[in-house]
Amino acid sequence: MVALGMVGLYSCRSRDKVILVKTTLQNHTQISKLHGHTLKHLGQLSDSGTLYGHYLNFADTLLVLFQNEDNMELWFNKLLSDNNALFKQTLGILEQAENHGLENEFYHVGFLNSALQSIQKNRWDSIVPYDSLSMLMVLSADAVMGFYSNMQSGRIDPSYTGSLDVLPRRRHGLLLPLILEDSTFPALKYCIPKFMEYRFLQKEYMRVKNSRNPRDGKALYLGRMLRPGDSLAFLSRRLAERLKLFGYYSVEDSNIHKIKNYNWELMHAVELLQAANGLEVSGNVDYKTRLLLQTTKDEMLISLRANLERWRWLGVINEHSYVWANIGENKVYAFKNDSLKVEMKICSGKSRDTAYYNKLERAKKDQKLTAPDNLETPLMKAEMTHMVVNPSWFVPKNIMIKELLPQLKTDRSILTEKNYILRNYKGEEIDPNSIDWSQVTEKNWKYGMEQLPGEENALGKIVIHFPNKYSIFMHDTPSKFAFEYKDRHVSHGCMRMEEPLKMAEFLSSFNKKNNIDEIYIAAGMEPVLDEKKIKKYQEDMKDSVRAAKLKPKPNRYFKNDKSIPVYLVYFTCSVNSAGKINYFFDSYNRDKKMLSEMKRPSKKVRKTKVNSQQVFSP
Q: Is the pLDDT of residue 446 over 50?
A: yes
DSSP bridge pairs for 324: 333, 567
Looking at the domain assignment, is residue 202 inside a domain? Answer: no
pLDDT tens for residues 565-606? 999 999 999 998 888 899 999 999 999 999 999 988 765 544
Strands 462-465 and 127-129: unpaired
Residue 182 has pLDDT above 70, yes or no: no
> Are the CB atoms for 62 and 106 separated by under 8 Å?
no
Let me know if residue 205 belongs to a domain. no
Weakest mean pLDDT among 7-16, 232-241, 532-541: 7-16
- Write down the pLDDT at residue 582: 93
Q: Crossing angle for the helix pair 196-210 and 297-314, nearest 10 degrees?
A: 160
Q: Which helix (H) or strand (E) holds 335?
A: strand 331-336
DSSP type of residue 404: I
Most confident option among 92-106, 129-143, 232-246, 415-429:
92-106
Residue 376 falls within a domain, yes or no?
yes
More confident of the two residues 180 and 29: 29
Domain assignment present for residue 212? The answer is no
Q: How confident is the model at residue 27, as a pLDDT?
A: 62
- Contact indicator for 263, 233 with CB cutoff of 8 Å: no
Average of per-residue pLDDT values in the chain = 84
Q: Against a cut of 0.85, is the pTM above it?
A: yes
Give the integer Cα–Cα distance in Å for 604 and 19.
36
* Number of other CB atoms surrounding residue 182 within 10 Å: 9
Q: Do residue 26 and residue 61 come from a single domain?
A: yes
In the chain, the number of structural domains is 4
The CATH number of whichever domain residue 232 belongs to comes to 1.10.101.10
* Dist CA 615 CA 52 (whole Å): 27
What's the confidence (pLDDT) of residue 189?
A: 78
Distance of CA 612 to the CA centre of its chain: 34
162 and 30 in a common domain: yes
The pLDDT score that the predictor gives to residue 224 is 59
The total of other beta-carbon atoms located within 10 Å of residue 43's CB is 10
Residues 535 and 518 in one domain: yes
Give the pLDDT of residue 170: 63
My answer on whether 361 and 413 are in the same domain is no
Give the pLDDT confidence score for residue 577 in this predicted structure.
82
Does 587 fall in a domain?
no
Q: Are residues 149 and 73 part of one domain? A: yes
Q: What is the pLDDT of residues 340-350, one digit of tens each?
A: 999 999 999 99
Q: Which residue has the higher pLDDT, 235 or 106?
A: 106
Q: For residues 458 and 393, is the Cβ–Cβ distance under 8 A?
A: yes
Which of 240, 267, 294 is the last residue before a domain boundary?
294
Integer Cα distance of 423 and 430 in angstroms: 5
Range of the domain at 289: 220-294
Q: What is each CA distance from 154 to 98, 293, 398, in whole angstroms?
A: 14, 30, 35
Same domain, 227 and 153: no
Confidence of residue 608 (pLDDT cuts 50, 70, 90): very low
Mean pLDDT of 428-446: 90
- Phi, psi (rounded to 5 degrees) for 419: 65, 40
Using one digit for the tens of pLDDT, what is the confidence trace for 388-426?
999 999 999 989 998 999 999 888 888 988 999 999 888
Q: What CATH number should be reported for the domain holding residue 482?
A: 2.40.440.10
Chain segment 194-222, per-residue pLDDT in tens = 999 999 999 999 999 998 766 655 555 55
